[in-house]
Structure formats: structure tokens, C-alpha cells
Homo-oligomer: A and B are copies of this chain.
Amino acid sequence: MRREEIVHAAREVFSAKGFRNGSLSDIAERVGITHQGVLHHFGTKEQLLVEVLRDRDTTGRAALADASNPRGARFLHHVLNTVTTNTRRTGIVQAYTVLSAESVTEGHPAQPWFRTRFTTLRQDLAEALGEACDAAEPVAREELERGAAVLVAVMDGLQVQWLLDPGAIDMTAAVRMTIDALLTSWGGRPLGPA
């Protein structure tokens, strides 16, 4: 219960101030405990952020379950909705961007989490792209997996450009362009309305 409170407080602090500037003391204060109390529960600030990101994913997945576990084109529409939601939560996007990049450095505590997350996300997206693509010939699994890696990369890479220059980047339109270009290049139709 206390852990959950801390994760929610951390999400608010990281959203408002970013990962670097949001301090453990800010988070502790919101929950009414000490800085040491937060460390007791999570060990490090990085680990706490991993929990915030995991919580974000779990919440997203709960919303998916409500929508009776969408597949194929409906899953891709869910992805587009997430991108649109992200344009209204700069702090979380900033925290995700900084932490995912930091995670590539040796021994970073978030590294296993991101590695697993990317693998799972690529598999789910490869499947969704294959199902959404109603081409005459089925698309080779290798092509779908490559397309999934492209799609994940576009979402992540756009966040960096968008955070630096929000007016220049329409993230939802750019991700949709990528999905449609992939589907049509495989002989399928573009995604169409939700």
C-alpha cells in the first residue's frame, strides 16, 4: 500500500520536474515519510523510476484488457492512442526517454527491464502488424519483426525530437504514417479509422 503511494507520488514528481530534477525528498514529502523511507522501499531513484514505468505499462495493459484484449488493427489503434496520450504527459515521456537511453550504459539497474520490454513489445507488434496486414500473401515473420523494431524505434526517436521542439513534430501523425507505409509496402491496406 505504502509502495503504491510512493510510486504514484514519484510519477507526479517526475512528470512535473523530470527525472533528473525531481528529488527523492520531493517524493518523500508528498507521502509524508523521509527520504530514507523511500530508499528503504526502493533502494535507488533509478529503481523507483523503473517501478513508475512498470506501473504505466500495467495501467495501459489493464485498459487493454477492458477493451477485451484487442489484436491486429485494433492493437495498432491502441498504440496510436497511447502516442496521443503521451503528448499530454511531458514529464513521463521525458523520464522514459532519459532512462531508456541511460539504460544502455554498463551495469545500469534498468537495463534488464528495458531489454525485456523491447523484446516483448517487438513480438506483440510483429503479431499485430501481421494480422492487420490483409495482403494476398502472408508477410514473412522476419519482415514483420523488422517492421516491429522500426515501429518501436519511431515512437522512441520521435519523443526526443518532440521534447526538443514540440511545435515541429506531430507524433501521432508520424507514427500513423509509419504504420501505413509498412502495411502498404507489404501489399496490405493502410490502417483506416479506429
Contacts and interface: CB of A to CB of B under 8 A. Distances in A.
Interface residues of A, number: 49
Interface stretch (A28-36, A52-60, A92-100): A92-100
Interface string A110-141: 01001100110010000000000000000000
A185 interface: yes
Contact of A152 (B157, B180, B181): B157
A145 to B, nearest CB: 8
Nearest to A104: B163
A177 B146 contact: yes
A100 B101 contact: yes
Count identical subunits in the complex.
2
A164 interface: yes
Nearest to A103: B164
A106 B21 contact: yes
A132 to B, nearest CB: 14
A19 B101 CA distance: 12
Nearest to A118: B161
Interface in A147-184: 147, 149-150, 152-158, 160-161, 163-165, 168-170, 173-174, 177-178, 180-182, 184
A150 B154 contact: yes
A84 to B, nearest CB: 16
A118 B153 CA distance: 16
Nearest to A21: B106
B97 A104 contact: yes
**Residue of A19, A21, A168 with highest tally of chain B CB at under 10 A:** A168
The 7 closest A-B pairs by CB, nearest first: A153-B157, A101-B101, A157-B157, A181-B181, A156-B157, A181-B185, A104-B163
